[in-house]
């Protein structure tokens, strides 16, 4: 939103989600499982020792929460908009690829600073509609819809959820999704990105020497 408002060349870098841990063979995710197990404890289904063990395994590494909450959803939205490097939305915070992504993003930022490729040329109506489709397909945070429409509003783009909803329903019916499922980090989602916008960013970044 800040980049869209400022109207200057920009590229984002996200922190990445934390790795998940397990409890009795079950994968845990911060927030969601915290509430679920606490509810079971209050209901008398598990004892204090069990809920204490779960608590120690909910956030075992650095990173944003290991569920498709606002942080992970907005990372996917940013990639779908073409505002972060392709393929970097869902890399875990402690993965070596996150450092590589940070270095590549820094290099791209230096080169982009010398260009006039402003966010309004990347975040087009087509890109916003694509991001909405991705957002609905991954079942992410509803907060992200508010953030995305605010970004679009800053650029004077009016969007509707209806086309995205139709696309998601159509693809779901055919057994497809606008988001490509990947095995990394227990089924996180790599977004269908804004190919044209991402290509413009990459071209601008590679055309200037740092």
- Confidence bin at 70 (pLDDT 50/70/90): confident
Per-residue pLDDT, 163: 65
Boundaries of every domain in the chain: 2-18+65-207, 22-56
Q: Specify the higher pLDDT residue, 34 or 46.
A: 46
Cβ pair 20, 136 in contact under 8 A = no
Q: Per-residue pLDDT tens for 124-161? A: 888 888 888 877 777 767 788 888 888 888 888 887 77
Per-residue pLDDT, 14: 92
pTM above 0.75, yes or no: no
Per-residue pLDDT, 186: 33
Mean pLDDT of the chain: 77
Q: Is the pLDDT of residue 177 over 60?
A: no
Q: Hey, which of 78-82, 83-87, 104-108, 148-152 has the most confident mean pLDDT?
A: 104-108
CA–CA dist 85, 104 (Å, integer): 8
What is the average pLDDT across 65-87? 85
CA angle, corner 195, sides to 132 and 4, nearest 5?
A: 60
State what percent of residues in the chain have pLDDT above 70. 76
Q: Is the pLDDT of residue 190 over 50?
A: no
Per-residue pLDDT, 105: 93
Q: Is the dihedral of CA 180, 64, 200, 203 positive or negative?
A: negative
Q: Which residues contact 5 (CB under 8 A, 6 or more apart)?
A: 154
Q: Is the pLDDT of residue 102 over 90?
A: yes
Per-residue pLDDT, 4: 82
Q: Is the pLDDT of residue 110 over 60?
A: yes
CA–CA dist 131, 203 (Å, integer): 21
Q: Is the pLDDT of residue 174 over 60?
A: no
Give how far the C-alpha of residue 95 lies from the chain's centroid of Cα atoms, to the nearest Å. Answer: 16
Per-residue pLDDT, 181: 33
Provide the angle, in degrees to the nearest 10, between the axes of the packed helices 161-173 and 125-138: 50
């Amino acid at each position: 939103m800040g980049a869209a408002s400022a109207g200057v060349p920009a590229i984002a870098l996200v922190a990445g989600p934390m790795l998940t841990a397990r409890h009795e063979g079950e994968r845990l995710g911060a927030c969601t499982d915290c509430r679920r197990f606490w509810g079971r404890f209050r209901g008398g289904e598990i004892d204090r020792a069990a809920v204490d063990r779960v608590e120690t395994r909910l956030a075992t590494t650095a990173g944003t929460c290991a569920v498709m909450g606002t942080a992970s959803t907005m990372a996917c939205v940013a990639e779908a908009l073409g505002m972060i490097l392709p393929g970097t939305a869902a890399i875990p915070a402690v993965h070596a690829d996150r450092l590589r992504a940070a270095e590549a993003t820094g290099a791209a930022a230096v080169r982009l600073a010398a260009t006039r490729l402003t966010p309004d040329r990347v975040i087009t109506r087509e890109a916003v509609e694509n991001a909405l489709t991705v957002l609905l397909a991954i079942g992410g945070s509803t907060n992200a819809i508010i953030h995305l429409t605010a970004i679009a509003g800053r650029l004077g783009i009016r969007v509707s959820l209806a086309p995205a909803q139709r696309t998601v329903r159509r693809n779901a019916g055919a057994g497809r999704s606008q988001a490509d499922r990947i095995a990394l980090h227990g089924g996180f989602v790599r977004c269908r990105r804004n190919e044209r916008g991402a290509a413009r960013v990459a071209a601008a970044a590679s055309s200037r020497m740092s």
